Amino acid sequence: GVEDVCDSPAIWAFEAAELQELLCGAAAPQWTEKELKQHLKPRGGYNIASQPVVMLIEELLRMPLERRGQFLEFVTACPRLPHGGLAAAEIVVVPAHPKGSLPRAHTCTNELQLPAFNSVEELSERLAEAMDCARGMYE
């Protein structure tokens, strides 16, 4: 157990849930619009004001907590935010083609390849399809 990797008696000052969050990250990913704008890293021609990034932020804010974990797993291969939150996750958002295609992710670099969409609803549907179909398969 824990004593196998940490022999300090200070470890017993923590509850199990506190240790889990400290070592594994938050179980229910929380974020705000300000945090998303500050810590998502648009690249490759996208910036924080690019329409696809604006729609992604809107969708991420609307997502229920369990779906947020699935989004994180899709992009990073881990359903939890690391200690340090979104800033530590370093999620990069880059353009993908063609317009309206399924978003893709490279989990080794925490990169979301995000096509342009006509609406937030279309983005939501396509992102959900990509997340559901990619469950457990990482690139």
Q: Active-site positions?
A: 108
Which pair of structure tokens corresponds to residue 79? 């359903």
Residue listed under structure tokens 């940490």: 6
Torsion of CA 9, 16, 21, 75, to 10 degrees: 120
Distance CA 75, CA 52 (A): 16
Helices 65-76 and 120-133, axial angle in degrees (round to 10): 70
